[in-house]
Amino acid sequence: MRTTRWYGKLLGFFAGAALLRAEPPLGALLGLLIGHAFDADWFRLRDDPYRILGITDEANEAEVLQAYRRLMSQYHPDKFATAAPELRHRAEKKARELNAAYDRIQAQRKPRR
């Protein structure tokens, strides 16, 4: 389970208060807001592959594979072959996302030679 981060808020609070000494409450509040944004990963550019599969980064290989197979069994496009085109499109998109997440995890864990 992912723990809630707090250090961005704390550092943002003090940095905002120090940088905007003329308006201490405003600076501290602004720093707190920016720190919260960093803690909540609002500035993340790519999706976390572990979050996509619904596991933590401490999961072992068997847990990663189990989560991948479970989700692919739910969202595999073949299960939606006779469904409405919109549902089929969503399933294809989700399957591509799951495949990409699994491939990224495997590439990260692959031993470098």
Q: Using CA atoms, how far apart are residues 81 and 14, in angstroms rounded to an integer?
A: 56
Query: Domain 49-109: which CATH class?
Result: mainly alpha
Q: What is the pLDDT of residues 30-74, one digit of tens each?
A: 777 777 777 766 666 567 899 899 999 899 999 999 999 999 999
Q: What is the pLDDT of residues 68-110, one digit of tens each?
A: 999 999 999 999 989 899 999 999 999 999 999 999 999 988 8
Q: Using CA atoms, how far apart are residues 31 and 45, in angstroms rounded to an integer?
A: 21
User: Where do you find CATH 1.10.287.110 in the chain?
Assistant: 49-109
pTM score, whole prediction: 0.59
Q: Which tokens in the block code for residue 30?
A: 């602004």
Q: What residues contact 72, with CB distance under 8 A and at least 6 apart?
A: 95, 98, 99
| Pair 53, 66: CB distance under 8 Å | no
